[in-house]
Every structure is written in structure tokens, then in C-alpha cells.
Structure 1
Amino acid sequence: LDGSPLQFCAPSQGQQICTSRVFDENTGIIKTARVLDRETRDRYSFIAVTPEGITVEVNIQVNDINDHAPAFPKQHSTFQIPEHTPIGSSILQVFASDADEGDNGDVIYEINRRQSDPEQYFTIDARTGVTTAFVTIHVRDYNDNQPTMTIIFLSEDGSPQISEGAQPGQYVARISVSDPDYGEYSNVNVTLEGGDGKFALTTKDNIIYLICVDQLLDREERDSYDLRVTATDSGTPPLRAESAFVLQVMDVNDNPPLFDQQEYKQSIPEVVYPGSFVLQVTARDKDQGPNGEVRYSILHGRDTHSSWFTIDPATGIITTAAPLDYEKDPQPQLTVLATDRGTPALSSSAVVHVALQDVNDNEPVFRSNFYNVSLKESTPVGTCFLQVGAGIEARAVGSLGWETCPCRVFGAGPVTWPGKRVPRSPWMWQERMVCGCPVGTLQGHGV
């Protein structure tokens, strides 16, 4: 074209757009007049015309550069899936387009782990797409978790136990419940079974429950209770958790020892060796442990002769501790105590009656060692002229008999005259002015 001015026209939408340009006479380069956009138009055709009327057709193909990012039709999508969806299930497909062509328009998908799903619950196919636009996936809950339940017993050592002295309203255990499920599935109802009405369940927020004493307890009546706590959620079908335990009722010292009988009777000879068995008393205590351990003792008092006896504190066996004396006390009486080892200690008493059997262990004794009497020589035979007295200690065994006089002048009177002296034969004063007559007695089977 030899540097001649050119006029060229470029058809646009069926019309000719003609623009005069002067080519560089040395190079003949055609330059762009505006910014090109391949995605708007990728091809141009020009007809260059010289003043001389020479024409030349120019075809320009606009090549692509990667100047467009992929774009999603929707920038926010929301889906719901059930929580028990199997691994590998297709949830949704996202699609992004890129106005570029070739490799520049080839879209590869991935999940932005920095902004979402760091735990990698989801995956995306790099070619088919499962979101890079912000996608919210709501996991719809499924009742697949049973309630969880934690029971804390409020005893000193944390074991399931309660004192029998606990009053109504006193707490036994604290129960906390929860359900990992969502919404209505997380609503949990707790029930208590067993206990024969002695215990109740209370709550203020349906999260923390308390087992409390509802009626007075008596360990001697029943020492343990089988309890079961059940937590049930509101799902369909409902799921539940159960916990069963045995609640021990701990003893308090509320029962005194009781003797098998309130009075004991025993008969023994008065002559027995110290340490001889008398009888055994027995008391029982319904309490447990030290509260139910019984120790025996004798309650000593004045003029009771309780010192004659002793008792084994563990067995309740009563034995003699000293010589007995029927003449001092033929029926000694003891008060025995049974005491437990609780705090405070409780006790009860019983009475022991001991009847001593008398033996002949006392000699007769005259009231006087010497008797002096005057008697007329004409006193008839058989006349009572003297009565001597002899006796034994009160309540002694046997009766008294009288020996005959060795002098044969006087003798004992009839049995109706105990201790009386009478002449056996006529008294002759000329023969004896004074007569000494020893008198003896016989007691029972002894002298």
C-alpha cells in the first residue's frame, strides 16, 4: 500500500463501521483502537481500501486469555440431609461456568477447608462439582442416640447408702441427664422405680434430678432397697437409658439391747466354791455393728450382796465371786445390765433371783455357859426345876436335841419341855449337897 492512507471498514452487527487509519509506512501495522474482549467478540473482519480503490480483506481472531474467574449461578445454597446419611451418598451438585476457553475455562472444584467443614465431613468431585459457592447443609437429626445419665450418690464415700435416721426430704443422689440428639429428640423424661414408696424423684429444670427420702426408714424392718432410674427421650421410637442399684440403709443406734426375759430365777447351795456357775443371761440388740454389740454388767448396790457374784461382760455368764451365806441373805437379788457400744450407748436391765439352799454349817450355842439353881431334897421326881436355852443362827437347818445328864440324877424333860431339867430319882441331900450336870445339844444331823 506504499504508505498511502487507508480507509477500512469493519462490519459490525450487519453494518459497516469505517475508520480511517494511517498505517506506518514502514511496517503497515494495524493497531487496536479499543480494548478487546474475546468473551464479547472473538473474531473481526476488515476491508482495507486505498485511495486508488485497491481493497484487501483482513481477518483477526481474538485469542483467549484467562481473564474471567469461574462463576456460580447462586452464591448461597441450602440443603437438608438426614444425619444417618451413608458415607459416599450424593448430596447435591454445584455448577460453575467460566467464560474463558480451553484450559482457562476448565473448572476444577474443591471445598475451602479454611472457611468451612474443617472436620472434612464432606467431599467434592473436582470435575463434577459439589460447591465452592457458599453452601449451607443442614443435617436433619435422627433419633439415634440414647440419653446419657450420670448418678452421683451423696453419701460420705459416694456409695449408694442412706442413714435410717434420714428425714423426709433428705437427698440420696443427684442425677444429670442429656441427649446428644437435637430438638425434640433431646427432651428426656426420668422416672424412678422401686423403693416401696420410701423414695421420690424431684426436678426443677428436667436436666438435674434428685432422689430424696419420702418416708421414714427403719433398717431393722428393711436394710436395702432395689431402685431403678430410667431416662427416656421423645423420639419415635423412644430410646432409653437405665441404671439399677441397691441402696443400703445404714444403721443408727435406735434400739436398746433386750433381755430374753425380765426376771431370771436360780437355786444353788450356799456352800459352793467361788467361780461356780450360777446361770447365763442373754440380751439381743437389733442394731448393726457396734450399735448391736452387747456388754453385760451387774448393778451393785448397798445391802444387795451383789458382790457375791460376777458376770462375764461378753457371754452374760454369772458365777460366784465370794462365799455365800444363807444366814445373811437366803435370796440375794441381782440387777444385770445389757449395754450396747453405740454413741450414745443404750441399755436395759433384768432381775436375777438366786435362792440359796441352806446346809448344816452352824453349831448350836447356849444362851449361857453356866446355870446355877437350888433344889429342895424333897422335890418330886419329874419336877421341872431349870430350863436351859440353846439355839442356832436364824433360819439354820435342823432342830435341837438334848443329851442325858452323865450324873444320872437329872435328866431331860419330856419332848414337850425342850431344854428343861427334871429329877430322875429321889434327891438325897445327905448324899450330895452340890451336883454339877453338863448339858449337851444335838442339831439335826450334827452336834
Structure 2
Amino acid sequence: MKRYLLATVIFCSALVWGCKENNTTAPDLGFIEVNPRTVAVTIPYDDFVSGFQVYGGYGSAADFGRGVVALDFAGANVRALMKIEDLPTSADVVGSDGVSRTDSDLSFVGGRVVLSFDTIDGTLNVPVGIEVFGVVEEWHGPTATWDVAVDTAGDRRDWTQLGGGALNSLGAGTYAAFSDQQFDPELPLLDTLSISVDSAAVAGFLNPGGGSTGFLLAATFSGTSVNVVDLKLVLNTVPSTQPDTVVELSVGTDDVTFIIEGVPPAPVGWLRVGGTPSWRSVISLTIPSTVDGTVDLCGAVGCQVDLREVDLNLAELVLTTRQPQSGFQPQDTTVLDLRRVLNPELLPKSPLGSVLLPAATIVPPALFSTDVGAEVSFTVTRFVREVLEVAAETGSVPDASLVLLSLLEPSDIGFASFAGSGGVGAPELRLLFTVANEVGLP
């Protein structure tokens, strides 16, 4: 046992001696000392933005897919416009012999308008008064506004009266979403309202030459708002073959839109995104090739960091929220997208590049009301890297433009608003990068 222990000690000693000999006689491999430093810098507005422009008119209320009705709701007044499908000219009537026959000689004796509401959005906790009007002027759904009835190529016609022109009141009712729950809390929210219309109103729809061109819905209770997802006109008719029988015929909607009073013009000095029709903000960028280094990196004397030579870890465009005009604050979450403008000369219709953000930026409505002044960051690392790569190849940083837009256009009556040039809250570009070695003095 002692012989094995002694042999082991001698063997290990030889290994140690051999290693020491190799280290002392090894050649100098010339390794370069690397001292990486990670630095965060913030580039102010004036040092990376050459200008910005706000454009409107993307999409229309007709793309919203539902009607919106509001009266002095956070300052907004909104009315819904709906056209109905072609009225029926015949009905299948079952005779006394049990055989169904088509009757084309119908007498209409009134009916009702049935409205269906969204039970998620709106002031559902309070009753909402709704009045139904017959519209007597021609209007075009995709282009109708509070002021204008038709605005197509070569044809622009204003309403004779703002907000839908001359109107004929057909009836009114009160929508109370929780009316059934007062009797049984387990019942779902009520989502319909039926408003009776008389035979004279029905006759207006049967007379295309001088009658109604659709319905207008207006709220009658101040401070309320609802979304109308569907409208049906249910007609009561008496067939000639069965004069003692009343047959109901249902007519659906063919065109749904809404008009908003007092849509503000394009802003001057700040950014706007979203709304109906939707707004977009284009930011023209001139990213600097060098930035001032930090004290930790440069010391008290200062130095310049060439961004073309660093390893960029993160780049963020930082915007600060501001409060939009009264009546146009977002009522729902705003989902924002950021893309590169491929041909700025063609704005506002320039084609756009692919998605830049790793994920859409979701902004809650409170950031534009009770929590204004909050920072919203957009990750633009890939975009800034591409710009700096071009700069490294060509020797100069190329100009580029980004457009901030709503992911869905339109998605809300209200719009997002951000601080623009100058002052507190102006856009900033935050960079996080790694410098491989110490930075030399300028």
C-alpha cells in the first residue's frame, strides 16, 4: 500500500514540474486585452429629428362596422346613419286551404325599428335615450361627415342642415341594458330596443322619389353613448289574399356609418394617431453618427462615441402622452404600430415597410386622460442597426422616416396624442450599446 502511495506522489510531482516548465518556455501568443463597457445614452429631439408631419383621412367611419350614438359624451356628439336593403314587393302567404302562395299586392300598415346594441362598450350603466329619424337627403356612407352628405370624385354635396340634413322624426325609445336584471340578476344584459313607426313613415320608405334614404339615430340623454351593431326594419303588411291577416316582413341594413361633430383639424406642434377617420404621424429622422460619451466611459474630459463602431443592444423611440381635445380622448385601448416610410415624396400615400416592432404597442386610455405625461417606448433596434450599417458602408448616415399609426384603422372615435417638438416631453431616442475598448479622446 505504501509503495502505491509513493508512486502516486512521484507521478503527480512530475506532472506539476512538467507544467511549470511548459508555462515558462511557452511563446507569447499576443492576446489583445478587451475591456467591454455597456453604455446608455439619450439623444434629445433636436439631435435626431429633422421634422414631423400629421396626416389624416385613413379609412372612414363606414369601415368601423357599427354605428355610434353619443350626446355630449366627454364632449363628443355622434350620430349613426344606416341604409336599409331593398323593401320587399311580395310575401308568401298561407291560405285557408293550407297552401302557400306569393302575394304581390301588399298593404303596409306600420312596423317597428329593432336596434341591437353592443353590451360591452358604452354607458350601459345608465338608460340611453334613442330617437330614430328618416333621412330625406342623398348621402354616401364612406364619405358622409357631420357637414358633408356626399364627397366623391366630381360630386360634393353638403347637408342642408349640419348633422344629417333635414330629418323626419319616426319615433323614440329608451335603452336600458340592465332592465331585465332588476327582476333576475342571472339574466344577460338586454341588447335590443324596439321603436314603433307608423304607416306614414313606412310610406316614406316605399317612395324612393320623395321619401327616406335611410335612418339616422341620435342620443337624447346627455352624457351617454352606445354602439349599434345592427338595425332591422320590421314591416307589418296585409296581403290582398288574406285581408284579415297581418304578416311581418324583416328588412336588414345595407350601409352603416356614423358622423361626428367638430372633428379637429390636423394638430400643429404635436403628434396624433388613430381616430375616425384615422390619423398618422410621420417622423423624419437624422440619426447622428457620433454621440457624447458618458462620464463613466470618457472621464471628466469627455469624448465622442462613433455609433457605427459599437454593438447596439437596444434602441427605443420614447414618446410622451398628452391629453387630446375634449370629446376625442380614447375610450378603449389603443394598439399602435410603427413602420418605415418607403417613399416620403409620395406621402400621405407612400407605401410602408414591414412591421418594425417586435410586438404591437398597447396603450391604455388612462394615459391620455388621468395619467397624461406618461412615457411610451417603441423598440426600434433593428431599424437603427440598419441605418448605422448603411452609414458604416457609405460614410454618412442616411435620412429615414417612420410612421406611427393605429394597428386597426379606424378603431376608436378618440385618438392618441403625444408631445411634439420642443419643451418637456419631446420625443427622445434611447440607446444601449457596448463599446469593446476604451474610447480615445477627440
Q: Normalising by structure 1, what TM-score?
A: 0.25
Q: Name which one, 1 or 2, has greater alpha-carbon Rg.
A: 1
**Which structure would you say has the larger RCO, counting Cα contacts within 8 Å and 6 or more residues apart?**
2
Structure showing the higher strand proportion among its residues: 2
Q: Judging by fraction of residues, say which structure has more helix.
A: 2
TM-score (norm 2): 0.25
